Structure 1
Amino acid sequence: MVDWGGMYDCRGDVHRVPELLERVEYDDDNAETWDELGHRLVLEHDVVFPAGFAALPRLVRLASRSDRARRLAGAIMRCAAGEHGCDDLLAACSDAIADLRELLDRHLRSKPTDYLATYLDLLAVNGEYHWSAVLGDFSDDFYAISCPHCAVEVTIAIGDYGRYSAIRDWQLGDVDRRDLRPASPEDLADVGRWMHSTALRDGQGLLAEGIVHLFGRAECPCCASVFTIADEYASANRPVM
């Protein structure tokens, strides 16, 4: 049983969220109620409030039959690395998070139209918040990385226009391009292996191909040193938990 007395939402209310949860549990088609609930729990998909973590177990229970509940639970998890001051509440949701992980993976296996959004939610559930925040569909992906050897900012492009490292000039565009060196799928490890194998399992060829480039190597156009893209990006952007 949740003690809602201290579980304020984005407006500082402590009673409105449980009322809204009661409504959606019996009327999943009420879009207006879902919209209000989402706005109260997660602010601009960036900040989650105590009421969000308090509501998470109930949302996960609803998620097996409610797409809206699944998406809202995923939005809460994408914010879980932020400075919300609710680490104890998040830790108390461990069972619900485990259930959500299984539910999201099952949804991915069905090859849904919202595949990428669900994939990003699952990355957040697995604690890969930095990838959940930036990974696209590899039709128009860019990553800014500091070269580990000379510290110059290198633009990594993975998309329909090319797969390269470059120096970005805001007048000339991406200059001095160098082709990326994709990783071999057999050499992927840890999260890279999981990301690639999951995409491949679900028939997401473009996503899988983008991942081997993202976890591959790039040449710095300035000093010509070669570095692993994902390692450098994760090192600079992985949140401190």
Structure 2
Amino acid sequence: MTTIDWRELTHAYGSAEDIPALFARLGGTEDDAVWSELWSALCHQGSVYEASWAALPVLADIARGRAQGEPFQAVILAGAITGYEADPRRPQHGQEIGELLDVTRELLATPGHSAPLFVNLLQSVLAFEGVGVWSEALQGVNSEEFEVECPECEEGLYVAFGSYGTFVSAGDYVGKPEPETTEAHGELTPASPERLSGLGARLYGEAVAAGQTEVARALTYVFGEGRCPSCDTVFSVSQEVEKQWI
């Protein structure tokens, strides 16, 4: 951090001169609050700034245990910062991204993660690899739904695969009377695991290997097919998700 003039850089709230002091506070009883401040400044609502990229060497140090702080937090924040694979600043940070990727893979192989944290780690791996869309879009697995558009009639749809059931809904389905939601539902058909390919097969395999059965189940729906309840068009969920994120 001593080689960076943070006063010359900006984050979500202006000058980044406060960033070194925030990192210096890590390793104590207020870590949660500090990480919250770092997230707010460096990755505010998904936006990144000059200071965000400048923070990558520090985050790599934390991930590797060379600096105080929680490695999980470091790799997840760094993953969010590097999620846009076409960012022109990315090539300048190849060494840090490589280190962060190695640590994230090690963490991913450690058993006992909660399902949301496991998904967050998968997102970071994809971000560091430069996979692009799914490093962000995979967050829908944690929220148990995706918002897409029917490729035929362009109806706005919700693809749901969580506590409310598994279906495609035309319009918001939460809090509506059951008869109304039933009429507005289309089928959501999971992909057969043996028929998955490419990224879907890889992510499903990661989840199964880690004993993350709920994540694996969700992924079969994400890479499955939905039926639009408005026009009966059958569509690939993952393809429509990618359209929304490109």
TM-score range, shorter chain: 0.7 to 0.9
SS of aligned partner of 1:48: coil
How far has the Cα of 1:80 moved from its partner? 3.7
Q: Aligned in 2, Cα 1:209/1:36: closer, same or farther, shift over 3 Å?
A: closer
How well do the aligned residues superpose, as a CA RMSD in angstroms? 3.1
1:42 alignment counterpart: 42
From 157, 182, 187, the counterpart of 1:179: 187
Contact 1:60/1:70, CA 8 A, preserved across alignment: no
1:231 alignment counterpart: 239
SS of aligned partner of 2:27: coil
How far has the Cα of 1:110 moved from its partner? 1.0
How far has the Cα of 1:53 moved from its partner? 0.9
Q: Aligned in 2, Cα 1:44/1:12: closer, same or farther, shift over 3 Å?
A: closer
Q: Aligned in 2, Cα 1:142/1:35: closer, same or farther, shift over 3 Å?
A: closer
How far has the Cα of 1:130 moved from its partner? 4.2
How far apart in 2 are the matches of 1:209 and 1:56?
Answer: 34
Give structure 2 stretches of 5+ with no counterpart: none
Percent identity, aligned pairs only, is 21
SS of aligned partner of 1:87: coil
SS of aligned partner of 1:203: coil
SS of aligned partner of 1:98: helix
Matched, 1:155 2:173: no
Give structure 1 stretches of 5+ with no counterpart: none
How far apart in 2 are the matches of 1:231 and 1:62?
Answer: 36
1:74 alignment counterpart: 76
TM-score by length of 1: 0.79
2:221 is aligned with what amino acid? Answer: H
- Structure 1 stretches of 4+ moved >4 Å: 136-140
1:145-180 CA-to-partner distances (Å, cap 9, x unmatched) read 211122222321111332112323675335342322
SS of aligned partner of 1:230: helix
1:205 is aligned with what amino acid? Answer: T
How far apart in 1 are the matches of 2:156 and 2:16?
Answer: 46
Q: How many residues align?
A: 232
TM-score by length of 2: 0.77
1:212 alignment counterpart: 220
